[in-house]
Structure 1
Amino acid sequence: MKLCASFLLLLCFYSVFSQTVQIEDYRPEFSNIRTYNHEWLGLRTFKQNGMVKYMAVDPYSFKTAIISTNEISSLNKLDYAKVNAEFVKSCFIKAQQLARTNESSIQNAGIDRHFNREKGVNLTMDLCPSHRQLDRIVFDSTYNYFQGKEENIPIGISVSGKWMQQHPEDLEWLKYLSKSGKWNIIWINHSYNHFMNNEPLTENFLLSKGTDLNTEILQNEQLMIEKGITPSVFFRFPGLVSDKAILEKVLHYGLIPIGADAWLAKGQRPVNGSIVLIHGNGNEESGVKDWINLLKYNIRNIQLGHWILYDLNQSLQCNTR
């Protein structure tokens, strides 16, 4: 009862907050930002309720943040070439380079490989547009298995703009989980419209004629911020479909494309370090069941701490600072 009451109070708070946030002039702008004892790579600039703010990423930990001008001690604008030069040794640039290794693949381009050093998996969930409700059983079941074993359980949620617009209550519930400290949600850009047609893959999803990347990427980020969530530096292609040209464009937005080597509903079996993909939008019952069965199969290792969940920030960190 207390948990329900707490959620209702937070829901009211977030509803009021989301109505008061006004974002204007949201655009890409690279910069080297210094705050107190910290260096950031600025990715976006915008005005929120009339105040200039920046979305930036720590180029070593991949943590993103919204930074106000009064927090900044110095700021130098950069172009994409200078970003690569000034941050050449950073984990961010190394991850962008890794994403290029399979850039010509029509499906699953970007970082799709498992991380051999890990004993466990990187769980990611896609929320494509859907009229069905969120599969909350994924969160309830996962929490039950890892309760007492992992705090702040990590998950990467790839969220589309249309899903956020269609499912405000589910989004507030996810924000509540994140605020509760029980879940560490990394919010991944999954495009605004997530357009899909009946054409071949080479003419489908973001490869469809007339696709406007500014809308698909920037409008989705802006909506995420307006809804009270901070976008990560990661991007997942709708349908995992792309080509070399569009992958390069996404990289030039300062994003890191993320694929998956274990899309459970397609029968792909995860190994230690895999990037696991399930859809939690109510349209992929088999993937949800496969995830729960995977938890059951690994219950002993989970109890012993030999099979854990990683987040993408941890998996891509490097020792070059």
Structure 2
Amino acid sequence: MISSSGARFYLSVVLLLLTASPLMAQLADYQVYYGVTSRPETQVVLRQWRQDGQVRYLLVDPKTLETSVAILPIDAVQTRPWPTLLQEITQTPYGRAIRMEQQRDGALQDAGLERADTTERGFSLTIDLCPSTKPLTRSVFEALIQSFEPSEKPIPVTITITGLWMASHQSDLTYLKTLVARGDLAITWVNHSYHHRFDPRRPLPVNFLLEPNTNIRDEVLLNEQAMLINGLTPSAFFRFPGLVSDKLVFDEVLSFGLLPIGSDAWLAKKQAPKQGSFVLIHANGNEPLGISDFISLIRQQSTAIKNRAWLLYEMPSSVAKAVK
């Protein structure tokens, strides 16, 4: 007899195999790999893998927090132990953001960064795509485009995404990628774990990623690979499922070079946005109240939006500015 946790793992493997693109076989030797490269300018190296016979790297710009995928010769990268690398980038926005995160690792809920630059005339919109049998709530993206274009185009949005959602919502993912391709949205893709396990019967200290026997490394790295396979560039951010973590799990995620983000404005919980807030809504079909509240909010602010007095902000630049 397979245990419930074993059954979930088996199911996730089957789903991954059934939905894998041809790139799956071509992405190999994926690993945490720390270093620096100066091509074209100083970048921090976070990951290395092989694809189509080439060595590829996931890079983060320590000044802007923007990530990119690069094909580089081996001699273009200088490896560093993580502590040494942190010392080298300590005066950059990325280094300062990591130090700020290290001071926020103890809370059970919302331990990550909840808010960025408080001088902003608006906030960063974060949309979670947790595993769900329901279709993507496309109405929220249609409302965004209708409300913010042409004053903001492309519209900056942060989407936190899970591997199981990608595996079962390929048409919805194509829809989002189409909005990016035609210039409507500029999406920052955030790792939200691969499985996003949740048991409503369990208390928070043993739920979500705190569920016993959870392999944090797999939750992080399997999801990054699923993102890359689906043509998404993982950002330098991570959102804990349920916004739940403890110091051990938080610090492990931080050791992957990722910056955990929380929220001080989860709309379905009636938390009002402030300047620089990380507003949280779910577009996976499971939180209609948050979607309704957000659409009402942007309608109320229609005049301010048209006058560019109420804006949406890109997550990397907003955090980079806040920690300068």
**TM-score scaled to structure 2, two decimals?**
0.90
1-side partners of 2:231 and 2:25: how far apart?
Answer: 9
Aligned position for 1:116 = 118
Q: How do residues 30-179 of structure 1 correspond to structure 2 at under 5 angstroms?
A: 30-36=34-40, 38-70=41-73, 74-179=76-181
Q: Deviations over 1:76-119 (max 9, x none)?
A: 10111011111111111111122233211100011013531101
Q: How do residues 1-321 of structure 1 correspond to structure 2 at under 5 angstroms?
A: 19=23, 22-36=26-40, 38-70=41-73, 74-197=76-199, 198-318=201-321
SS of residue paired to 2:86: helix
Q: Is the 8 A contact 1:21 1:49 kept in 2?
A: no
Q: Deviations over 1:277-310 (max 9, x none)?
A: 0000000000000000110111111111100000
Out of 159-168 and 172-181, give the one that drifted further: 172-181
Give the superposition deviation at 1:50: 2.2
Structure 1, unmatched stretches of 5+, are 1-14
Aligned position for 1:11 = none
2-side partners of 1:69 and 1:33: how far apart?
Answer: 9
Aligned position for 1:10 = none
Q: Is the 8 A contact 1:127 1:158 kept in 2?
A: yes
Q: Deviations over 1:249-290 (max 9, x none)?
A: 111000000000000001101112111000000000000000
1-side partners of 2:116 and 2:38: how far apart?
Answer: 33
Q: Is the 8 A contact 2:122 2:311 kept in 1?
A: yes
Distance 1:306 1:35, change over 3 A: same
1-side partners of 2:105 and 2:20: how far apart?
Answer: 42
**TM-score scaled to structure 1, two decimals?**
0.91
Q: Is the 8 A contact 2:191 2:239 kept in 1?
A: yes
SS of residue paired to 2:42: strand
SS of residue paired to 1:281: coil
Q: Is the 8 A contact 2:47 2:57 kept in 1?
A: yes
SS of residue paired to 1:45: strand
2-side partners of 1:87 and 1:40: how far apart?
Answer: 10
Aligned position for 1:3 = none
Give the superposition deviation at 1:73: 6.8
1-side partners of 2:223 and 2:98: how far apart?
Answer: 21
Out of 281-290 and 193-202, give the one that drifted further: 193-202
SS of residue paired to 1:102: coil
Give the superposition deviation at 1:20: 7.2
2-side partners of 1:287 and 1:270: how far apart?
Answer: 12
Give the superposition deviation at 1:46: 0.3
Q: Report the residue type matching 2:26 in the other structure.
A: Q
Q: Report the residue type matching 1:102 in the other structure.
A: R
1-side partners of 2:116 and 2:29: how far apart?
Answer: 38
Give the superposition deviation at 1:215: 1.1
2-side partners of 1:164 and 1:183: how far apart?
Answer: 19
1-side partners of 2:277 and 2:153: how far apart?
Answer: 21
Q: How many residues align?
A: 305
Give the superposition deviation at 1:22: 1.8
2-side partners of 1:292 and 1:320: how far apart?
Answer: 30
Sequence identity (%) = 38
Q: Report the residue type matching 2:71 in the other structure.
A: S
SS of residue paired to 2:250: helix
Distance 1:320 1:120, change over 3 A: closer
Give the superposition deviation at 1:45: 0.4
Q: Report the residue type matching 1:60 in the other structure.
A: K
2-side partners of 1:270 and 1:87: how far apart?
Answer: 32
Distance 1:219 1:244, change over 3 A: same
2-side partners of 1:80 and 1:205: how far apart?
Answer: 27
2-side partners of 1:16 and 1:126: how far apart?
Answer: 22
Distance 1:16 1:163, change over 3 A: closer
